Structure 1
Amino acid sequence: MTASATTNGGYLSSTSKTSNSHKSSKTNSAILHRHIHHEPITVVGASGNYLELSSGQKILDATGGAAVSCLGHGNVKVKEAISRQMDQVSYCHSLFFGSSAGEELGRELISSTAGRMARAFIVSSGSEAMEAAMKLARQYFLELSPPQPNRRNFIARKESYHGTTLGALSMSGHVARRALFEPMLLENVSKVSACNAYRGMQQDETTGAYVARLAQELDDEFVRVGPETVCAFVAEPVVGAALGCVPSVPGYFQAMAAVCDKYGALLIFDEVMSGMGRTGTLHAWEQEGVVPDIQTIGKGLGGGYAAVAGLMIGYRVLNTLDNGTGAFAHGQTYQGHPIACAAALEVQRIIRREGLVENVRRMGELLSSQLKQRLETHPYVGDIRGRGLFWGLEFVRNKETKEPFNPKDGIAIGVHEKGLQPQYSISLYPGTGTVDGRCGDHVLLAPAYNCTESDITLIVDTTVKVIEDFFANRTA
């Protein structure tokens, strides 16, 4: 193997020279990095699809970090929008004041749903958005007439990831990321199976039968915990970091929504990673035939130009609050931050004006076809899946049995580190726990929405070369 790695609660941390890390147990950094003994690579510049490192090496950013940089790096229009906002106002406390940037962003977002969502709520991270969604769902039932105070439980899915704060981590099913903090996590969140056709569908089972089985599992879970106690069912339309770009099968979310409606629970979609254009529609739910009651958004909202995320809130929830207290009992210091809102607004305007969601669909088809053409027969690539410009490659030890590699082999981080070597100079996003939260490896590809055919071809060519060389040089 060309690299060594450790996992810390499911988060990959490198210990190899290829990532420019220091071997010493002490570093010169004053920052508590993700691994205390190893400083990360220093980025000194970024433009378009490339990151420039302090060593002078240029890295092809094929994933936009964590599927964040949807416009690439250094967009002049976004920088100008941020500068204009700083000339106006950089911060005001949302308890007392609002900003024109926040209002305009809200209108842009609501308009993008064709009026199917009612309000936006802007925060600073996806984890914060999930925390807010949980509290809003609980408050909705307290504001009903008559109120339903017994609604306190949530049903989410195994092999999911919804954030790193304690509430969001409680909602998550990723075993390794939960492990250290299990005694501190909420006990009112239960899990059902994820919709993962590659590993979940039985041999000779039809899609319809698979959907019916998962719907029955959800129905049974409502009954087990008490249907009158459930606030919401929470799921990612396309599972990102936990499973590696796994989309639902046709009809799945319609069936899940029907179960929620049967018991009067809300439907919450986590679109922090898969939303805002990443999967080929601005909102991932547009491909599911279902409109959620609450939707979290994040990475593609601001494209990395500011720390920004948010909620989209449906009329069912808004009207209940409107007829009740008229106030959401939740607020944060940096809620609706003017600079973050200005950055996100310009990012969304660029996506709309330049027709980038359509480009995501076209380039996504090209990315899909090239990946499958080049890697479908590779002995260690078990599955290639995704939507739009959001694709995952799952690695397996045995293609026939789908047996995963031993976590100690560090396959995903090894492929990532291989890509960082100068002869490849590409960043691939690694993930572990793909099978059950502990075993399983994948890498993600999430190019910028404005990428071209030549960009896609370069990304695929380089990715294929990295994977082929990694496994060719790997010792058993």
Structure 2
Amino acid sequence: AFHESYPHCQLPCAEQLEKVIKREGPEYIAAFICEPIIGASGGAIVPPPYYYQRIKQLCDHYGILFIVDEVMTGMGRTGRNFAINHWGVIPDLIALGKGMSAGYAPIAATIVSERIIDVISNGSGAIMAGHTYSAHPQSAAAALAVLDIIEKNQLIQKVAEKGNMLMRELKKIKEAHPIVGDVRGKGFLCGIEFGDFEQKGLSERLIEKAFSLGLLLYPAMGGSDYYGGEGVLVAPPFTLQQEDMNVLLQRLDQALSLLEEDLKHG
């Protein structure tokens, strides 16, 4: 949207926040909420270095809460405990879900900073919120088991290491397929964006090709051109072994070849 790229810019994407704050008035803004690495709505778009540092500075300066949505990116998916850790920034609140139970039971959680909990403690001392199935024993047990397995098997460290390998191989696939405009991401949250925005339905067609080969891909939209674009997410499980990665890459390469062949013949 800004037609600039890091490091040859002054982070206009971050400075835009201050323009909005001044336009609307900080007294009318409660919080800035973001997904640290944009998932399905952006195809694993990774903000540039220092982006979130500047966002946090602006939020602190104007008294606005900084909230991060780590439902998709948290619990080690990007090779760190939370995706925001890649920028060394501490938000005021973190929303968690999905990966907490590895999909075995529905569960979500909110992590708050000391600053936030102090306000509650010095006030009523009570959090006046709840749900019918809050603290459900089955979900809590699943989440505790997942945390235990992640820690004992050092899965987050392995995701970081294998994620680097996966990204290197995805970049090779990009070079081999003109239809691919960009690959990006961190850890086991990688995005493939098509370069030809005139063609519609490419994401769905690639997913169908991959599925026929035994590979599951996740649809993504709203690419790096801000308003349009199509792509897919490659988000393997934490248990991925080298032989599994080889199969994944082989089938992805084959699916892209099949799609390109279809496009040649209209």
Same fold flag (TM > 0.5): yes
Deviations 1:84-137 (A, max 9, x none): xxxxxxxxxxxxxxxxxxxxxxxxxxxxxxxxxxxxxxxxxxxxxxxxxxxxxx
Residue 227 of structure 1, aligned match among 15, 22, 26: 26
Deviation by residue 1:290-315 (Cα, 9 ceiling, x = unmatched)? 01100011121111011112111111
**2:172 counterpart of 1:379:** no
For residue 135 of structure 2, the aligned residue among 314, 336, 351 is 336
Residue among 459, 471, 475 paired with 2:248? 459
Deviations 1:242-270 (A, max 9, x none): 01111111100000000001101110011
Is the CA contact 2:179–2:194 (under 8 Å) kept in the aligned structure 1? yes
Q: Give the conservation status (yes or no) of the 8 Å contact 2:53–2:87.
A: yes
Pairing of 1:47-446 with structure 2 (within 5 A): 200-202=2-4, 205-207=5-7, 209-211=9-11, 213-397=12-196, 404-406=197-199, 409-421=200-212, 424-434=213-223, 439-446=228-235
Q: Check 1:434–1:208 CA distance in 2 against 1; reply closer, same or farther (3 A cut).
A: closer
Alignment size in residue pairs = 265
Among candidates 252, 258, 266, match of residue 469 of structure 1: 258
Instruction: Tell me how far apart the structure 2 counterparts of residues 383 and 349 of structure 1 sit (CA, whole Å).
Output: 36
1:221 & 1:333 partners in 2: Cα distance? 38
Residues 232 and 265 of structure 1 are in contact (CA less than 8 Å); yes or no, is this contact kept in structure 2?
yes
State how far apart, in whole Å, the 2-side matches of 1:467 and 1:210 are.
36
1:264 and 1:410 map into 2 onto residues whose CA distance is 43
Q: Confirm or deny: 8 A CA contact 1:292 1:314 kept in the other structure.
A: yes
The counterpart of 2:239, out of the listed 429, 450, 463, is 450
Cα separation, partners in 2 of 1:208 and 1:235, compared to 1, 3 Å: farther
Q: TM-score, normalised by structure 2?
A: 0.94
The change in CA–CA distance for 1:436 and 1:308 in structure 2 (over 3 A counts) is farther
Paired AA for residue 258 in structure 1:
Q
Structure 2 residue ranges without an equivalent (≥5): none
Q: Distance in 2 between matches of 1:318 and 1:440?
A: 41
For the pair shown, which has the larger CA radius of gyration, 1 or 2? 1
Kindly state the Cα deviation for residue 432 of structure 1 after the two structures are TM-superposed. 2.8
SS of 2:9's partner is helix
1:215 offset after TM fit, Å?
A: 2.9
Letter aligned with residue 282 of structure 1:
N
Greater RCO (CA < 8 Å, at least 6 residues apart): 1
Q: Is the contact between residue 389 and residue 446 of structure 1 (CA under 8 Å) also seen in structure 2?
A: yes
- What residue is the counterpart of 1:178 in the other structure? none
Amino acid in the other structure paired with 2:73: S
Amino acid in structure 1 at the alignment position of 2:257: E
Structure 1: unaligned runs, 5 residues or longer: 1-198, 398-403
